Structure 1
Amino acid sequence: MSFNRDEHGTQRPKGNHMTTADMEHRIVRYGDLQPCKTAFIDAHTPGSNTKENFTIIGGGVSESPDQHVHIAISHGFNIGAAGQPPKCRNSLHIHRTAEVFFVLSGRWRFFWGRYGDAGEVTLEEGDIINIPTGIFRGFENISTDYGMIMAILGGDDAGGGVVWAPQVIEDAKDHGLVLGDNGKLYDSKSGATLPDGVAPMPVLNAEELKAFPEPTTAEVVPHYVARYWDMMALADRTPAKVIGESAMLRDKPGFEVDFITRTSATADMHSHKFPSVLMPMRGHWRVTWQGGSATLAPGDTMSVPENLAHSTVPSMTGESSLYRVVATSDPAGLTWKG
Structure 2
Amino acid sequence: MTETQSAAPRIVRYGELVPCKTAFIDAHTPGSDQKENFTIIGGGVSESPDQHVHIRDTPGFNIGAAGQPPKCRNSLHSHRTAEVFFVLKGRWRFFWGRWGDAGEVVLEEGDIFNIPTGIFRGFENIGTDYGMIMAILGGDDAGGGVIWAPQVIEDAQAHGLVLGENGSLYDTKKGAILPDGIGPMPVLSDDELRAFPEPTTLDVVPHYVARYWDLMALSDKQPASVIGADALLRDKPGFDVDFLSRSSAPAGQYTVDQNEVLMPMRGHWKVTWDGGHDVLNPGDTCLFPAGVAHSVEPSMTGEASLYRVRSNDDPAGPTLAR
TM-score range, shorter chain: over 0.9
User: What do residues 273-308 of structure 1 show as CA deviations (whole Å, max 9, x unaligned)?
Assistant: 121100000000000111111100000000011000
- Residue 226 of structure 2 is aligned to residue 242 of structure 1: yes
Kept after mapping to 1: 8 A contact 2:234/2:320: no
Moved over 4 A (4+): 335-338
Q: 1:7 corresponds to which residue? A: none
The verdict on how the C-alpha distance between 1:19 and 1:111 changes in structure 2, with shifts beyond 3 A counting, is: same
Aligned sequence identity (%): 74
- Residue 114 of structure 2 is aligned to residue 160 of structure 1: no
User: What do residues 182-219 of structure 1 show as CA deviations (whole Å, max 9, x unaligned)?
Assistant: 00000001110000011100100111101001000000
RMSD: 1.3
Match of 2:195 among 192, 204, 211: 211
Match of 2:165 among 170, 181, 184: 181
- Residue 66 of structure 2 is aligned to residue 82 of structure 1: yes
Shift in Å, 1:251: 2.3
Q: 2:114 corresponds to which residue? A: 130
Tell me the SS of whatever aligns to 1:192: coil
Tell me the SS of whatever aligns to 1:186: strand
Tell me the SS of whatever aligns to 1:250: coil
Q: 1:114 corresponds to which residue? A: 98
Q: Gaps (5+ residues) in structure 1?
A: 1-10
Q: Gaps (5+ residues) in structure 2?
A: none
How far apart, CA to CA, are the structure 2 residues paired with 1:138 and 1:180?
22
Q: 1:314 corresponds to which residue? A: 298
Q: 1:33 corresponds to which residue? A: 17
Q: 1:104 corresponds to which residue? A: 88
How far apart, CA to CA, are the structure 2 residues paired with 1:316 and 1:191?
54
Which is worse superposed, 42-51 or 269-278? 269-278
Q: 1:278 corresponds to which residue? A: 262
Shift in Å, 1:334: 2.8
User: What do residues 53-103 of structure 1 show as CA deviations (whole Å, max 9, x unaligned)?
Assistant: 000000000000000000011211000000000000000000010000000
How far apart, CA to CA, are the structure 1 residues paired with 2:300 and 2:182?
55
Kept after mapping to 2: 8 A contact 1:108/1:142: yes
Tell me the SS of whatever aligns to 1:80: strand
Shift in Å, 1:19: 6.9
How far apart, CA to CA, are the structure 2 residues paired with 1:139 and 1:150?
13
Kept after mapping to 2: 8 A contact 1:133/1:335: no
- Residue 42 of structure 2 is aligned to residue 93 of structure 1: no
Tell me the SS of whatever aligns to 1:334: coil
Tell me the SS of whatever aligns to 2:247: coil
Q: 1:223 corresponds to which residue? A: 207
- Residue 300 of structure 2 is aligned to residue 328 of structure 1: no
Question: How many residues are treated as equivalent by the alignment?
Answer: 322
Q: What TM-score does the superposition give when structure 1 sets the normalisation length? A: 0.93
Shift in Å, 1:267: 2.9
The verdict on how the C-alpha distance between 1:304 and 1:117 changes in structure 2, with shifts beyond 3 A counting, is: same
How far apart, CA to CA, are the structure 1 residues paired with 2:269 and 2:90?
22
How far apart, CA to CA, are the structure 2 residues paired with 1:263 and 1:29?
25
The one-letter amino acid paired with 1:208 is E
